[in-house]
Structure 1
Amino acid sequence: MSGMKKKANHLAVFKKRTKNDDNAELSEIIIISARKSGNLNLSSRGLFMVPDRVWNINDLTEEEVRNLHFELDYVHENEKWWDQEPLKILDLSYNSLKTIEPQIENLSELTTLYLHNNLLEELPAEMGNLKKLNILNLSNNKLENLPHEFYKLNELHELNLKNNSIKELDPAVGDFIMLTNLDLSYNNLIELPIGMGYLVRLLSLDLSHNMLRELPPDLTNMRALQKLNASYNQLEMLPPLGELRKVETVILHSNKLTTFPDMSGCTLLRILHLADNNITEIDMSCLEGVGQLKTLTLGNNQIEIIPEEIIKLVYLEIFDLSHNKLTLIPKYIGLMPNLKQFVIDGNDIKNVRTDIIRCGTARILKHIRQDIKSTNMDVKEYVVSDASTNIYPDRYTMQSTKLLSLAGQNLTELPQEVLTNACKADVGTVDLSRNNLSALPGELSIIERIADLKLTSNQLTHIPEWIGEKYKYLQILDLSKNLLQSLPSNLGLLKYLQELNISFNRFKEIPDSVYDINSLEILIANDNLITDIDVSALQKLQKLATLNLANNNIGFVSPELGTLKNLRNLSLSGNCFKQPRQAILAKSTEEILAYLRNRIPQ
């Protein structure tokens, strides 16, 4: 039954429910369990009111005090029921609660509070005194307003207000400076306050299904934002979003946009949904520098022409232009190397037969590429092989995208002319993944301003020393899925390197030169043959925040690993050590590190 969807238990609506009924739900057994664990679960109990003792659950009754004196000398060490944890997690979800009593402020140690799927119409001002609250779920209630004191919860990391009736937010929402996830979807918001821009730690923002006509311009201050959903609103225009450097997904479908949103500068953008708007043109200047885009949906708009510059989007896999005003599928669509879904139905296409379109992407691309070959089409300096798939980008494209992509070409060597053009274009990203390279040619070193080098899924057995000497601006190096056992000795010269991925290779240890990269923040080394964790060496990497050593041959985890307090993501599963146990590894990184620190001999 655990796989079935949980349903709200609104029993109080359908039968007469007394205060005594609600109080009876909090039995002595539940109280004792909550005191031991700091976790009280009263979800789906049909509660109309919160049982009185919840607010003072750690206070001993007179009878308990008497029993305490009586049993003190006779109880086994493991049965000390009076040893308590303050309540930290309270789950009151899926009930019929209409109000929350002011006494909630008594639960001063509360870090997690679940109140979703109730009938709440208002919140007590005293809730603002829960200074340690990290996670608060108020979704699926009937809230229209939030008390001003609510905005004092400045330790909140996750706030879910989905599916209420909230009409406005106070500018004090900007005081939630620790927020990483904010869900305001399915409300009645007409506008957002300027203070939203102070939420600089926000990773995910869901504004969908409201009545917003515009987004505040300081939204672009959310430099950490990875996902923005503002679909199903009334948006007519947007501020330039190029400052959202880390955004990967932007969902803007079902609005009233007439112009293509300016995403230029969003270098990590992978997914952009713009369907169901009134956009008349694909303005490629709005996608300047968006070289990583994989999904672009523009169905149900007013677009008449596919611009030739679309071929700059070399990573594009899904391109939806259904139900627009297109009459031609241009031949340069056949030059897009990674296109897997090209949705064009619902247009009045003149140059490709309907039966071909009906057969889908593969048939459309085959038809167009045959047409390209038969007419010897020359689109600028693009070169199309006999297989119509081995496509080298030209200098014109690389100049615009700052990207050299030769991914998935089954190459054993690199074309000199392309490398020369890439050097002249001053590219910053080079993607040579999914080829058959057994060594890196020295000619690659002429592209000296590379910031991101992708070499995953090749046949590399060694990496040349010149990488450390030539690539002084390198920030990301992906060497995963090769045959490597060692790395160059001079990696310490890479003063800007933030991310190193050496997963799925043949390393028996983390190479010594890795510990010389002072700027390293992410080290991914899973699925190798590594046997030991050199904690003293790792301590040199003071900026290291992510360490993945999963699926290796590590037989022992030193408790001193717990002293690496800067780690935010630690993965150790799939190794052969017995401690920590799997139950510990399933917890958060912070809890794993605390566990290890507690095992350090005093």
Structure 2
Amino acid sequence: MSRLKRSSERDSRAGFRTEGRDCTTSVPQGLLKAARKSGQLNLSGRNLSEVPQCVWRINVDVPEEANQNLSFGATERWWEQTDLTKLIISNNKLQSLTDDLRLLPALTILDIHDNQLTSLPSALQELENLQKLNVSHNKLKMLPEEITNLRNLKGLYLQHNELSCIPEGFEQLFNLEDLDLSNNRLTTIPAGFSSLSSLVRLNLASNELKSLPAEICRMKRLKHLDCNSNLLDTIPSELAGMESLELLYLRRNKLRSLPIFSSCKLLKELHLGENQIETLEAEHLKHLNSILVLDLRDNKLKSIPDEITLLQSLERLDLSNNDISSLPYLLGNLHLKFLALEGNPLRTIRREIISKGTQEVLKYLRSKIRDDEPTQSESVTETAMTLPSESRVNVHAITTLKTLEYSDKQTTLIPDEVFDAVKDNIVTSVNFSKNQLCEIPKRVVELKEMLSDVNLSFNKLSCISLELCMLQKLTFLDLRNNFLSSLPEEMESLKRLQMINLSFNRFKILPEVLYRISKLETILISNNQVGSLDPQKMKMMENLTTLDLQNNDLLQIPPELGNCVSLRTLLLDGNPFRVPRAAILMKGTAAILEYLRDRIPT
């Protein structure tokens, strides 16, 4: 009778109450009966606007069946049944929790994610046995100081709230191993965080952090640090001394330089995409002995040092959308499984080689290891010619690389002399990027029988002219960083188009014409305002393998997208949808598609 005695001490009326009528419809009696035996109660997705009293009092009140039948068997002796240790009330409409929460002191897991909570009760501090607390996807503006009394807490999930600060004493949660504060409004991280010595995973993504405390290096067990999508312009050098760190995410910040990762011997993944990094030196690389993934896409890198060949464990290298004109041939000696080079003004490697995939690129680089690169660059300088308009046209690029190059001139018009320089030569690529073009040069149509690659990125295009739609041999088209909000239906005639980059424009939907270009393999449309896509039409795109929808306005991902089994890379980070959760996204494309397929209505 020890359990009955404890219950009586909590509430003098215990044993005389019956479960209230509020439970008869919202919580079936059978569910409560099972919970008394298992110690677990799942009330997820029941449209609850408040937690019924019978739930709070499940360990206090005599069960209704006990009042009805006093001669139940040994297996149903309610006074011997277990206290509730796991309570899930997620995906409801709760706006608050009462202090009755203290009536469940045995709880080790409390999951109340995806509700409308604006605060947490101070009685939370009495759940001394709590090990996991999930309050993500609510509307919390602040945390009660009492949360710091949960000394046994190992997992705390606060992502997708409205928190702007962290209460004093947070470092007292010394058993905390997993802390997720992503998608809030935090501007600073207190130095006292360094006392969270048991922390293994810390997620600070999508906040408003301008700096990290140097003391963060004291987290001796930290393996996973996510600072994506903040306002960081520097990283404390002390972070480079974190010996246990394995995964470091710093994408979508304002970094211009990197620390030297002198002690991060275990670092396996380093994500630095979408920053403003201009240089990558040998010192940045030579200590990364265990690195498997290096993401440097969408930066301002002009070159890659030869020392990249020191990264013998490297499997994935993303250099897309930088200013790299040449690659070290020694890169071919790495055993890469994935190498992304799209969106660079490469002169030493032809576009058709890049289009054949990673292994062909590596094979090509290996074949060139003995070539004299300085002689190549000198010849480019010597063969450049000055035309009457004082525009420099790279004739060597035309004759040798089959490329018409007139980029980074900040011009509003491409001079006729540029097109005249082609003469009788064959040109397969055009690069007019980083100018001030408001329209596509009409003379580009003169090259329609030859062009397979056109780069018009970083201009001021607000519409696509029909001249572009006449380039029927076009396979690669780069239109990122313009002012485009739509594409003409006439683009359907680009039957050979395999890759299109529309990132950093003003699209609100995935352009309808893209669904009808059957050869498309890659669509990059990140950093727009895309709010919807048609999964049924996308399923018909049998060649589509890469779809980048990061940083758009997708409120929901249609489950039918899971049927697009040809997709090998599906990127969805940075959208305001709630499902799939970040944990699913982190598992990669196959896991995302499987998750979506499982939720297709039958």
Please state which band the TM-score falls in when normalised by the shorter chain.
Answer: 0.5 to 0.7
Checking the alignment, whether the CA contact within 8 Å between 2:195 and 2:218 is kept in structure 1 is: yes
Q: 1:28 to 1:371 in 2, by over 3 A?
A: closer
Q: How far, CA to CA, are the matches of 2:373 and 2:327 in structure 1? A: 17
Aligned to 2:251: 253
Query: 1:77-96 alignment to 2 at 5 Å?
Result: 77-96=74-93
User: 1:65-122: CA deviations, max 9, x gaps?
Assistant: 7667x42xxx433232442211111111111000000110121111100101111011
Residue 347 and residue 103 in structure 1: after superposition, are their counterparts in 2 closer, same or farther (change >3 A)?
Answer: same
Aligned counterpart for 1:200 among listed residues 197, 208, 212: 197
Deviations 1:272-320 (A, max 9, x none): 0100000011133234422111111101111111112212111112111
Once structures 1 and 2 are overlaid, which stretch shifts more, 240-249 or 24-33?
24-33
Following the alignment from structure 1 to structure 2, what is the Cα–Cα distance between the partners of residues 376 and 44?
A: 63
Whether 1:167 aligns to 2:168 is no
Q: Are 1:33 and 2:31 an aligned pair? A: no
Counterpart position of 1:381: none
Shift of 1:191: 1.0
Separation of aligned partners in 2, 1:171 and 1:307 = 45
Deviation at 1:204, TM superposition (A): 1.1
1:18-97 equivalences under 5 Å are 24-61=25-62, 70-71=70-71, 75-97=72-94
RMSD of aligned residue pairs (Cα, Å): 2.2
What is the CA–CA distance in structure 1 between the aligned matches of 2:261 and 2:342, rounded to whole Å? 26
SS in 1 for 2:176: coil
Q: Which residue of 2 aligns with 1:423?
A: none
Partner Cα distance (1:297, 1:144) in 2: 34
Equivalent-residue separation in structure 1 for 2:290 and 2:67 (angstroms): 69
1:331 aligned to 2:348? no
TM-superposed deviation, 1:353: 1.8
User: Is 1:285 matched up with 2:280?
Assistant: no
Structure 1 position 347 matched with structure 2 position 348? no
Q: Which amino acid aligns with 1:319?
A: L
Matched, 1:179 2:176: yes
Aligned to 1:316: 314
**SS of the counterpart of 1:242?**
helix
2:494 equivalent in structure 1:
none
The within-5 A match list for 1:180-579 is 180-240=177-237, 241-336=239-334, 338-373=335-370
Counterpart amino acid of 1:53?
C
SS state at 2:197 partner: coil
Amino acid at match of 1:248: E
In the superposition, relative to structure 1, how do residues 116 and 376 fare at CA in structure 2: closer, same or farther (>3 Å)? closer
Going from structure 1 to structure 2, the CA distance change for 1:266 and 1:125 (only over 3 Å counts) comes to: same
Distance in structure 2 (CA, Å) of the matches to 1:341 and 1:83: 59
CA contact 1:258–1:278 (8 Å) conserved in 2: yes
TM-superposition CA deviations, 1:428-451 (whole Å, max 9, x none) = xxxxxxxxxxxxxxxxxxxxxxxx
- Give the secondary structure class of the aligned counterpart of 2:361: helix
- Offset of 1:217 from its aligned partner? 1.2
The amino acid of 2:298's aligned partner reads N
CA distance in 1, matches of 2:109, 2:370: 62
1:462-521 per-position Cα deviation (integer Å, ceiling 9, x unaligned): xxxxxxxxxxxxxxxxxxxxxxxxxxxxxxxxxxxxxxxxxxxxxxxxxxxxxxxxxxxx
- Cα distance per residue 1:127-166 (max 9 Å; x no partner): 1111110011101111111111122112110111111111
What CA distance in whole angstroms lies between the structure 1 residues aligned with 2:65 and 2:108? 27
Residues 199-227 of structure 1: per-residue CA shift (max 9 Å, x gap) = 11111111111111111111111111111
**Shift of residue 64 of structure 1?**
6.7
Structure 1 pair 185/44, CA: closer, same or farther in 2 (3 Å)?
same
Most deviating of 181-190 and 342-351: 342-351
Task: Report the Cα distance in structure 2 between the residues aligned to 1:62 and 1:199, rounded to whole angstroms.
Answer: 42
**Which residue does 1:397 correspond to in 2?**
none
Distance in 2 between the 1:177 and 1:335 partners?
46
1:578 is matched with: none
- Residues 60, 369 of structure 1: CA spacing in aligned structure 2 closer, same or farther, 3 A cutoff? closer
Distance 1:80 1:212 in 2: 55
Distance 1:99 1:20, change over 3 A: farther
Q: CA deviation at 1:365?
A: 1.7
Q: Structure 1 vs Structure 2: percent identity of aligned residues?
A: 35
8 Å CA contact 2:45–2:90 kept in 1: the answer is: yes
When residues 363 and 82 of structure 1 are mapped into structure 2, their CA distance, relative to the original with a 3 A threshold, is same
Distance (Å, rounded) in 2 between the aligned partners of 1:372 and 1:351 = 12
Contact kept? 2:199, 2:221, Cα under 8 Å = yes
* Aligned-partner residue type, residue 158 of structure 1: G
**Counterparts in 2 of 1:355 and 1:38: CA distance versus 1, 3 Å:** same
Match of residue 522 from structure 2: none
Change over 3 Å in CA distance of 1:243–1:376 after alignment to 2: closer
On the 8 A contact 1:265/1:288 being kept in 2, the answer is no
What CA deviation, in whole Å up to 9, does each residue of 1:6-65 have, x standing for no partner? xxxxxxxxxxxxx96566423432222221111122111111111012222122349777
Q: Would the aligned equivalents of 1:159 and 1:179 in 2 still touch at CA under 8 Å?
A: yes
Taking the aligned partners of 1:167 and 1:242, their CA distance within structure 2 comes to: 27
Amino acid paired to 1:341? F
2:294–2:318 contact (8 Å) kept in structure 1:
yes
Cα distance in structure 2, aligned partners of 1:229 and 1:119: 26
Question: Residues 60 and 331 of structure 1: is their aligned pair in 2 closer, same or farther, counting only changes over 3 Å?
Answer: closer
**Is the 1:252–1:274 contact (alpha carbons within 8 Å) kept by the matching residues of 2?**
yes
Residue 485 of structure 1: aligned partner: none
SS in 2 for 1:372: coil
Q: Which amino acid aligns with 1:270?
A: K
Q: Tell me if 1:157 matches 2:154.
A: yes
For 1:8, the equivalent position in structure 2 comes to: none
Going from structure 1 to structure 2, the CA distance change for 1:21 and 1:53 (only over 3 Å counts) comes to: closer
Counterpart AA for 1:192:
I
Describe the shift of the 1:23–1:213 C-alpha distance in structure 2 as closer, same or farther (beyond 3 A). farther
> How far apart are the structure 2 equivalents of 1:227 and 1:309?
26
Distance 2:370 2:281 in 1: 29
Number of the residue aligned with 1:461: none
TM-score w.r.t. the length of structure 1 is 0.56
Hey, what's the Cα distance between the residues in 2 that align with 1:357 and 1:102? 62
Aligned counterparts of 1:51 and 1:279: Cα–Cα separation in 2: 54
CA distance in 1 between counterparts of 2:46 and 2:23 reads 8
Whole-Å Cα distance in 2 between the matches of residues 63 and 21 of structure 1?
14
Amino acid at match of 1:177: F
Residue identity matched to 1:289 = H
Aligned counterpart, 2:121: 124
* Cα distance in 2 between the residues matched to 1:376 and 1:64: 86
What is the CA–CA distance in structure 1 between the aligned matches of 2:48 and 2:29, rounded to whole Å?
17
Provide structure 1 residue ranges, at least 5 long, that are not aligned to the other structure. 1-18, 378-602
| Cα contact 2:45–2:92 (8 A) shared by 1 | yes
Q: 1:141 to 1:322 in 2, by over 3 A?
A: same
Q: Deviations over 1:355-392 (max 9, x none)?
A: 22222222222222112256799xxxxxxxxxxxxxxx
Work out the number of aligned pairs and report it: 354
Q: Which amino acid aligns with 2:158?
A: L
Question: How far did 1:335 drift?
Answer: 2.7
Whether contact under 8 Å (2:59, 2:104) holds in the other structure is: no
TM norm structure 2: 0.56
SS at match of 2:41: strand
Q: Distance in 1 between matches of 2:31 and 2:151?
A: 31
